Amino acid sequence: MGFKLTVNSARRATRTLWLLMLVSLSVCICVCRASSPEDDSAMENIVTEKKAEESHRQDSADLLIFIMLLTLTILTIWLFKHRRFRFLHETGLAMIYGLLVGVVLRYGIHVPRDISNVTLSCNVNASPATLLVNVSGKFYEYTLKGEINANEVDDVQDNEMLRKVTFDPEVFFNILLPPIIFHAGYSLKRRHFFRNMGSILAYAFLGTVISCFIIGLLMYGCVMLMKQVGQLNGDFFFTDCLFFGAIVSATDPVTVLAIFNELQVDVDLYALLFGESVLNDAVAVVLSSSIVAYQPQGDNSHTFEVMAMLKSFGMFLGVFSGSFALGVATGVVTALVTKFTKLRDFQLLETALFFLMSWSTFLLAEACGFTGVVAVLFCGITQAHYTFNNLSPESQDRTKQLFELLNFLAENFIFSYMGLTLFTFQNHVFNPMFIVGAFLAVFLGRAANIYPLSFLLNLGRRNKIRSNFQHMMMFAGLRGAMTFALSIRDTATYARQMMFSTTLLVVFFTVWICGGGTTQMLSCLHIRVGVDSDQDNSVSMSIAEGSERRSTKQESAWLFRIWYNFDHNYLKPILTHSGPPLTATLPTCCGPLARCLTSPQAYENECQLKDDDSDLILTDGDISLTYGDITVSTDATGAHTSGGPAGALAGGATSEDLDRELTYGDHELVMRGTRLVLPMDDSEPPFTDPHHRLRM
């Protein structure tokens, strides 16, 4: 009996223990279930923070790669300049370093695969830009990064690393291109540019259009041949061929021009190449936009239609003229602000305003539907012509050096990135037939631009474009930053991917082969180097002064003569502190208006008698400036007077004034019997003319 009681008691205790364990387990499960969202959320936050930190470190490492590339490029450039190596320019060197780093990133570094990556399949008609994923009742947002090849699904981490060093194309257009284009306009030597203005406009506008259509037609024939032999794996229309012709028609002979400047090649040849490259970049951008906007009516958007073509042509004219007007307007506003305010007393604020107004021109044009490249180019030209004269000497030096530095860094960054992209870009399409056809089309398109137009231009030029100059211009048609930026902006389709890959090879070839062979080509074509033609002119000026002026007079376009008179007599006095006083150029009835438009400090500082890029600092003594029969005098106290007939200059500046500014462009200061020569820039000679002489 006692044994049974003991067994029953043990059984009851065991049951009670099991019940307690079950209850405890249930409570634990409930507690765990109740607390799991908070724990999961905490874990997710920790994981998210770790991923954000890793992403931050990766981004810093990617930027460090480009900084080291630029640093290495600068050191190697110094070595090349020290050793006088001219067979490779700094841009070609930057591309080589970019290629080497791209090879290392593509084939030398592999990121371990993340086991948390999940691949699921679903059938949709298009790739959504944003994807919402429901995971256990929680919605997560994912953005589209690009297409991945089916064979590279297991290498997602490597693709992500390569994608990290592939920048958004808008970075090039909004950050890197503006300082390059602005510097081209801001550093333009107007004297040589206007001397060859007609030829430059012909090459830049008509020549670029000819090159675009020649390349487009040849590439369309190549594409048709590829389709016949089964080498084409996607759609490639005639509009795509024209777009390719437009983007590769943008020349960037930065390598050749750098060598020209170092060797002091003929200034007219330099002006023709530089002026063409500056303007045809703008033309190529607007032309490519017009081709993309070509949209005929009907289902087939790639058929030829006259109305659609006329609309595209109208868009070309409207966008170019609107961008031109916007850029000039921004430059004029900046000139007025710097003239009619005391901002020049605060050099830092003056430089900051100049920089922001110039850069905002690009963004404003893009936001308004125009082309920022055209706007910022003509803004730079306007700033150099007007605003520069209103800046303080410190701001003049700062703005020149600032944009020169930004241009150097941005240009070398782009060329380094070109080399890197050859291996890091995920969707290259290299087709041998298309590549060979592209090189042949680019060569023939350049020839169709240079030789026929040079023949026609020589019919009306006194200073002929010699055959060796034409061959050099043909050879110097390098492709560079603008071509690359236009091609990388859209790589969504098969045709655009093939264009981008081929464009990279065209840029590499022209920079390395054509740029590297510039010195040898100059020698083969017997183009004189090492002698500045401006200095030759100054030596022989006393002998051929009259004939030189007559030559300049006959070569200057009549339209430019009208513009020069208007600019010299009205715009410069209004927008700058230089030029004749408005009281002398405007009619007598406009005297109050002339005095109103003259700033209070117009004659208070050294900018009073400064024209264009002249550096003139007035000290003590009485100084007079003569404009024809009008004399403006100032004494040591800063007071100024004007004398002579009021209508002497009202009819406009004489043709001799134009000849002197185009041919020489300098001012001469005669003080106590000592003549001081004040050139506009380092390359321009002095002249002796009583109408532009400052006397004690």
250 neighbors 377 (Cβ within 8 angstroms): no
Beta strands in 194-269 (DSSP E): none
Which amino acid makes up residue 108? G
Distance CA 407, CA 423 (A): 25
- Strand 667-671 vs strand 693-695: parallel, antiparallel, or unpaired? parallel
Single-letter amino acid, residue 485: A
Give 681's DSSP letter.
Answer: S
Judging by beta carbons within 10 Å of its beta carbon (0-12, 13-18, 19+), is residue 42 exposed, middle or buried? exposed
Residue 304 token pair: 């030829």
User: Which regions in the chain score pLDDT beneath 50?
Assistant: 1-5, 7, 29, 31-36, 115, 533-555, 601-653, 662-696
List strands edge to edge, sheet with 693-695: 640-643, 630-634, 623-627, 693-695, 667-671, 674-678
Which residue from 562, 558, 581, 559 is spatially nearest to 570, judged by alpha carbons?
Answer: 581
Q: Are strands 667-671 and 138-143 parallel, antiparallel or unpaired?
A: unpaired
Q: Helices 393-424 & 481-488, crossing angle to 10 degrees?
A: 50
Tokens 């990064």 belong to 145
pLDDT at 268: 84
pLDDT in the model for residue 610: 42
- Asked whether the beta carbons of 506 and 483 are under 8 A apart, the reply is yes
pLDDT of residue 583: 66
Q: Is the dihedral of CA 293, 299, 302, 304 positive or negative?
A: negative
d(Cα 272, Cα 281) in Å, to the nearest integer?
14
| Residue showing tokens 């920089």 | 355
Does residue 193 contact residue 264 with C-beta atoms inside 8 Å? Answer: no
Cα(696)–Cα(679) distance, integer angstroms:
19
Residue 69 neighbours by CB distance under 10 Å: 22
CA 465 to centroid of chain Cα atoms? 28
Identify the pLDDT of residue 518.
85
The pLDDT of residue 457: 92
The 8 Å CB, 24+ separation contacts for 488-496 are: 488/169, 488/172, 488/421, 489/169, 489/172, 489/173, 490/169, 491/425, 491/427, 493/234, 493/235, 494/233, 494/234, 494/235, 494/236, 494/429, 495/234, 495/235, 495/236, 495/237, 495/240, 496/240
- Paired with 130 in beta bridges are 143
How many angstroms separate the CA atoms of 560 and 198, rounded?
Answer: 10
| 383 contacts: CB under 8 Å, gap ≥ 6 | 185, 186, 331, 334, 335, 354, 358
